[in-house]
Amino acid sequence: SPNDINKIDTEIHNKINKNENVHNIWRHDAHNYLSVDKLSWLEFYFKQRSTITEGVREGKFLDFGLLYGGPTSACTIPDSMYLTTNPNKLATPMSSSMRSVGIITKYLNASGLPYLEIGEDPRYLPLQAKDLYNRSKRILCVKDTNFTIKHIKEYKSREIIETTIPCSDVGHSYMFLMNEEKDILLKEPGDRKTRINVAMHCTASADSDVNKWKLVKDFILDPFPETYIYGKWDAKLIKGEHQNQFKEIPMTHLHKVMYDTKYTLMIAGSKGWGSQSKFWKMLIFGIIPFFDPDNENIFGAPEFLQTKDANDFIQKV
């Protein structure tokens, strides 16, 4: 989708694109010059590569795609599917989903391009757009399993079909170690004064599968009233006696706090799926990360870090 890659510093741009294999097909706003709407631009671009040579050489086809999973609404393409609540009315996509996702889903449907999805968060895998019927061949994630997704058979079809997509464990969590510098890792934990803190978001729309509020209340807030939860939380969830223990401070501003903390509790976003980047990040900060009872330990961490219940966690720390 449209991006600002050409606005970044030249040195950084050259480092990212050192192999000259990153092509910005939105450069120079060619779609506006040729009066092609954004939703149709990818299909037009690759069909007309003989006349549009920016970034793609004559005769160069896309062989396959690798797409990173993220949030989207059920409808991403205008006039593509009917509402489930009103079968005679066409659905209208949210403008954000149409701009960021619809451009890609429309191209995938039109081209039939084979592709893989990759990601860590099962809430966004496979892509939840029900108007995408050219589905991925496989999902690359953190465990060997299968995903099932319901979607339309074709545009404006009232037939909803179900596709099962295999998922492979590719050690995705290690991706979060790529930018870490070994030279600045701690040699020893140091003298730490803060026993526990938790850095975690919780919003009603994205965290319906796990009762994060109950977990932090039972494991953290009630037994350790001096503890803070850092992150964005739904105001309705935290209203009451513990609301002053929540601080909406981004992780980038918490380094001093983190390097003074001994323990944390990692709560997964979905039942049966382990936390990913947080495990490695806590270790880099020198914090011992405990797993909540539903958080799968995919890292081979000591069994001691897996908690059975709140009392087990309290006793261990």
CATH no. for residue 228?
3.40.50.2000
Looking at the structure, tell me whether residues 223 and 93 fall in a common domain: no
Does the pLDDT at position 16 exceed 90? no
Following DSSP, what letter does each residue of 176-236 receive, concatenated?
Answer: GGTT--GGGS-SS-----EEE-EE--B-TTT--SS-HHHHHIIIIITT-TT--EES-B-HH
Looking at the structure, tell me whether residues 244 and 155 fall in a common domain: no
**Nearest Cα to Cα of residue 169 among 146, 137, 135, 136:** 146
Looking at the structure, tell me whether residues 215 and 268 fall in a common domain: yes
Tokens representing 304?
A: 């001691």
Domain C-terminal end among 121, 155, 172: 172
Does the pLDDT at position 125 exceed 90? yes
Looking at the structure, tell me whether residues 160 and 304 fall in a common domain: no
Looking at the structure, tell me whether residues 217 and 285 fall in a common domain: yes
Looking at the structure, tell me whether residues 154 and 254 fall in a common domain: no
Q: For 158-181, write each residue's pLDDT tens digit.
A: 999 999 999 999 988 888 788 777
- So what's the pLDDT on residue 95? 92
Looking at the structure, tell me whether residues 119 and 42 fall in a common domain: yes
Does the pLDDT at position 56 exceed 50? no
Looking at the structure, tell me whether residues 301 and 157 fall in a common domain: no
Domain C-terminal end among 172, 202, 222: 172
- So what's the pLDDT on residue 119? 92
Looking at the structure, tell me whether residues 167 and 291 fall in a common domain: no
Helix (H) or strand (E) holding 253: none
Looking at the structure, tell me whether residues 191 and 156 fall in a common domain: no
Does the pLDDT at position 195 exceed 60? yes
Looking at the structure, tell me whether residues 228 and 146 fall in a common domain: no
Task: Please provide residue 81's backbone torsions phi and psi, each rounded to the nearest 5 degrees.
Answer: -150, 160
Does the pLDDT at position 155 exceed 50? yes
Looking at the structure, tell me whether residues 180 and 287 fall in a common domain: yes
What CA–CA distance (Å, rounded) separates 269 from 120?
10
Instruction: Residue 146: give the domain boundaries.
Output: 5-172
Does the pLDDT at position 55 exceed 50? no
Q: For 241-291, write each residue's pLDDT tens digit.
A: 899 999 999 888 999 999 999 999 999 877 777 777 889 889 999 999 999
